[in-house]
């Protein structure tokens, strides 16, 4: 191992921070804390074995997360094969949750009608925004969060998610719909409709 001061590997604060971010991702997708720790450990160890090539932190981080994605996907596939049934709450998809959003004819309640979001792309470096985003993601019910992350973070196709999570296509559609509905509402209420969100 080279001991250049610039190597991100010598920066324990950076590594700790990286590990925390990885854990955060893993926990959203795996219900078991130990399992989350395990995949992060494996991904980090695997990545660091060859990490000397990565002088830039962002390059290392991107690479480590790419490995983590695969570890989580593998772990999920194994988990669902073992469990054979998806979490109970996944099947429990009544009409709860959006009753406050729509009126009895299925139209937006006046105060729930989606607003225009100004330039979300400009938020990429805004730490406050990502804290809100994190909080909103963490608020999703576990079953919704899992399939949402499989779809939007791991970027798996619906068919793959149905197979891995053992849900029907229609259940998956409902879970993803509810996750998106809730996430957009949370972001709108806590960011885009707030003064700091509106001002950008």
Partner 1 sequence: MMNCREATRLMSEARDRRLNLMEKASLKVHLWMCSGCRNFDGQMDSLRDLMRMYAHEDDTVDSGKPDDRSSGVEK
Q: What residues make contact with partner 1 under the rule CB under 8 A?
A: 13-14, 17-18, 21, 57-58, 61-62, 65, 69, 98, 102, 105-108, 113-117, 120-121, 123-128, 130, 133, 151-153, 158, 172-173, 176-177, 180-181, 183-184, 187-188, 195-196, 199
Provide the minimum distance between the beta carbon of 153 and partner 1 in the complex, in angstroms, as a whole number.
5
Q: Between 84 and 195, name the residue whose CB sits nearer to partner 1.
A: 195
Q: Are 135 and 129 in contact (CB under 8 A)?
A: no
**68: buried, middle or exposed (CB in 10 Å: 19+, 13-18, 0-12)?**
buried
Q: Between 9 and 181, name the residue whose CB sits nearer to partner 1.
A: 181
d(CA 53, CA 48): 10
Q: Between 49 and 105, name the residue whose CB sits nearer to partner 1.
A: 105
d(CA 4, CA 9): 9
Provide the minimum distance between the beta carbon of 108 and partner 1 in the complex, in angstroms, as a whole number.
5
Task: Produce one character per residue of 133-150: b if its CB has 16 or more CB atoms within 10 Å, e if not.
Answer: beebbeebbebbbbbbbb
Q: Between 17 and 83, name the residue whose CB sits nearer to partner 1.
A: 17
């Amino acid at each position: 191992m080279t001991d250049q001061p610039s190597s991100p590997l010598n920066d324990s604060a950076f590594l700790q921070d990286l590990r925390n971010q990885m854990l955060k991702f893993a926990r959203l997708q795996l219900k078991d804390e130990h399992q989350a720790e395990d995949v992060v450990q494996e991904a980090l160890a695997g990545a660091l074995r060859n990490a000397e090539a990565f002088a830039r932190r962002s390059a290392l981080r991107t690479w480590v997360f790419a490995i983590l994605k695969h570890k989580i996907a593998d772990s999920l596939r194994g988990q669902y094969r073992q469990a054979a049934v998806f979490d109970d709450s996944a099947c429990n998809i009544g009409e709860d949750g959006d009753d406050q959003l729509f009126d009895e004819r299925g139209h937006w309640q006046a105060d729930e009608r989606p607003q225009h979001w100004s330039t979300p792309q400009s938020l990429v470096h805004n730490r406050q925004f990502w804290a809100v985003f994190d909080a909103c993601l963490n608020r999703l019910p576990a079953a919704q969060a899992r399939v949402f992350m499989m779809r939007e973070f791991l970027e798996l196709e619906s068919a793959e998610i149905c197979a891995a999570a053992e849900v029907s296509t229609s259940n998956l559609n409902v879970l993803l719909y509810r996750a998106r509905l809730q996430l957009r509402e949370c972001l709108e209420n806590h960011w885009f409709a707030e003064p700091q969100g509106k001002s950008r």
